[in-house]
Amino acid sequence: MSAKKSTKTTTKKSTKSKGYDASSISVLEGLDPVRKRPGMYIGTTGLEGLHHMIWEIFDNARDEAMGGFANRVEVTLLPDNYIRVVDNGRGIPVDIHKQTKVSALETIMCTLHAGGKFGGDESGYKVSGGLHGVGVSVVNALSTHTRVDVHKDGFQYMQEYNIGVAKAKVKKLGKTKFQGSIVNFQADPTIFPVIEYDWKKIVTHLRQQAYLVKEMHLTVVDARESEVKLDTKTLESEVYIADMKLEVPKMTFYFEGGLRSLVAFNNQHQKPVHKNIFYVEKTDIDENVLAVEVSLQYVDDISARISAFANNIYNPEHGTHITGFKTALTRTLNNYGKKNNLIKEKDGAFTGEDVLEGITAVVSVKMPEIQFEGQTKGKLGSVEARGAVESVFGEAFNMFLEENPDDAKAIINKVAIAVRARKAAKAAKDSVLRKGALEGMSLPGKLADCQSKSAADSELFIVEGDSAGGSAKMGRNRKTQAILPLRGKILNVERARIDKMLASEQIKNLVIALGTAIGDVFDVSKLRYHKIIIATDADVDGAHIRTLLLTLFFRYFRQLIDEGYLYIAQPPLYKIQKGKEIWYAYTDQEKFEIVGEEDPAAVVEEGEESEEETETEDEADTIAKKSKYRVQRYKGLGEMNAEELGETTMDPEHRVLKLVTIEDAQEADKVFDILMGTDVPSRKSFIQSNAQHANLDI
């Protein structure tokens, strides 16, 4: 993979732009509901929804590139929380729309379901990521200020809006040599409680999009700390801020390899099983499916990594295109293996689970009429996609296997190992479940269970060490809180199969305690506790144990994270006492706020005592002692007595719990690969690059 920096702006000419004017814009209804129920349109008003605003505007620019009308797109973070998205496409139409009697630009920006995505003629989009045509108008409605500049047919036009309402009619500013659209918006703080754009998140998302649109120059710029102003003449003299000589973070992406390059990028920290990356792209399949693109490569791992896209929209919940892909993959490998006597009779036919082990795949479809499940487009519902992917991929993958016998043999051998591992894992799982049944579903001896039989009311504390486990058992609420102590560090499951995992007594105890079973028999409805709380020491060893547990839950109990059942306890770092008053501080900042600007002589760290305190214990010294802050630094949970642990870490009225969430599953998967896998150079590089962000307990 390589990212080539573009230094020259070019406008891509296309005969397809003919006739793109106001008549290409269809209108369905008004804009009123957006501010009342923003979550219906962007999913959430949290940080995910905030970034979704960028994706909505970017998708329009990307659609211009995907349709062949543009070859350059730029996204810029500006001062005062403005976002700018630029493309060198045809420019949004500005002539009067017959239905609305205002300009097409104002119609698009201020009306729901208005855009060039409904008309079936060549002037609109054949393929578009925007399904409902609500994106740009929703962003406009949820922004305090929006400004759109259009460079079209030799002239520059501009219109501004406040919370979705046009301030004035479209202004014609003068002549221009450029072609394209520039959208600037400022998210409304009354809608979004926190407006903090994540540079890494934005770059990761847009890099992925660059892979999906071949030969599109995509630039991302962080100019938040620059002196760039929104209303300067920059738009006339330099359409792209990236062309300016600014000392700001900037990244440019340009890929010719498409999904093949994306698979190579995703596997950069993995060991490939076969040399050649499979790739197929077929266009103009039929009237329902315009293109299918698939790439894959197997690696020496046990996880499956499949990315799904429909009209370049990422589908984390997959959908019909992935169903077609899996069906063709299983059938093709079985047919090839049997035909070439590569499948042993004792192993039997490959299952869908077997063929997915260790695969990295990207599947993309493009359709003129597309159906998603929900506005956030998490899952593709178009039934036509299944048959198209199954046919195109199945035929091409069979040809790949025939033409690359060494790669084919390596893949078949990889899947055969998965078959044998599946059978061994099933025996191990059956053993655990059978043992539980024979013992009357008896729970592990180490587990101090709670009295409640209601999962919704029950909590499981996974505690580091027998010492902390003893304190936790005495300090808990026996009715609702269960304690499972761990002895030392559990097995690193990143590359361990279930049979090896269940040979570990500690992991087996945890599986039985949870009650959900594991693997293909996992059943979240049987979860015995709706709060699973990891409680480890606030030191390096505690952090390592916590990471091992998070790896286990991410790889084998992902649904527990997705449904909000997994938490991390945050025990206090300090106990501060002055006379009879006691405070607990969970951070150094809290400690400072309690102790304040006291003279250092008035603060006694545990183990420190002034000379007069050690020499005598008369009444005067006792009074002096009580006037000082005495600070105890907790190195581990075991240092707390039952009362302290219960009050600070277990009592719902006082404790601090952190909910474990996964904002970006692909990025999380990659980080676990690096930190817990076998690629030592990548792990070393990651640690060196991120060391400045670490909170070390030294």
Pure H helices in 439-504: 466-475, 498-502
Please report the pLDDT score of residue 462 as a whole number. Answer: 94
Pair 480, 580 in one domain? no
How far apart, in whole angstroms, are the C-alpha atoms of residue 35 and residue 487? 53
- On whether both 248 and 270 belong to a single domain, the answer is no
Using one digit for the tens of pLDDT, what is the confidence trace for 321-373?
999 999 999 999 999 999 999 988 777 899 998 999 999 999 999 998 888 87
Distance CA 137, CA 164 (A): 7
Distance (Å, whole) CA 491 – CA 178: 60
Do residues 238 and 156 lie in contact, with contact meaning Cβ atoms separated by under 8 Å? Answer: no
- Report the pLDDT averaged over residues 185-212: 93
| Whole-angstrom distance, CA of residue 345 vs CA of residue 573 | 60
Active site residues: 464, 537, 539, 541
Residues 678 and 596 in one domain: no
**Is residue 625 exposed (0-12), middle (13-18) or buried (19+ Cβ within 10 Å)?**
middle
Amino acid at 101: K
Q: Are residues 529 and 677 in the same domain?
A: yes
Q: Are 307 and 374 in contact (CB under 8 A)?
A: no
Q: Which of 253, 270, 302 is the last residue of a domain?
A: 253
Both 102 and 146 in one domain: the answer is: yes
Please give the structure tokens belonging to residue 5.
């920096």
Residues whose CB falls within 8 Å of the CB of residue 594, separated by 6 or more in sequence, listed in order = 576, 583, 585, 629
153 and 34 housed in the same domain: yes
Burial 657-688 (b: 16+ CB within 10 A, else e): beebeeebeeebbbebbbbbbebeebbeebee
What's the pTM?
A: 0.64
Domain harbouring 554, CATH code: 3.40.50.670
Last residue of a domain, one of 374, 389, 423: 423
Cα of first residue to Cα of last residue in the chain, in angstroms, is 39
Please say whether the beta carbons of 22 and 93 come within 8 A: yes
- Residue ranges making up the domain that contains 487: 443-571+658-685
Q: Does one domain contain both 226 and 362?
A: no
Q: Looking at the predicted structure, is the pLDDT value of residue 118 above 80?
A: no
Coil, helix or strand for 126?
A: coil
Does residue 245 or residue 502 have the better pLDDT? 502
Domain-ending residue, one of 393, 423, 453: 423
Do 234 and 304 lie in one domain? The reply is no
For residue 643, is it within any domain? no
Q: What is the DSSP secondary-structure string of 225-263?
A: TS---TTSTHHHH-S-GGGS---S-EEEE--SSTHHHHH
Measured distance CA(315)–CA(336) in Å, rounded? 30
495 and 559 belong to one structural domain: yes
User: What is the total count of domains within the chain?
Assistant: 4
Q: Is 2 within a domain?
A: no
How is residue 272 written in tokens? 């490939």
Enter the tokens of residue 152: 């079209």
CA separation for the pair 506, 492 (Å, rounded): 12
Judged against a pLDDT cut of 90, whether residue 32 lies above it is answered with no
pLDDT 10s digits, 477-531: 999 999 999 887 888 877 777 777 878 888 888 988 999 888 777 899 999 999 9
Q: Are residues 38 and 94 both part of a single domain?
A: yes
Q: Are the C-beta atoms of residues 571 and 648 closer than 8 Å to each other? A: yes
Determine the Cα–Cα distance for residues 318 and 594; give it in Å rounded to an integer. Answer: 50
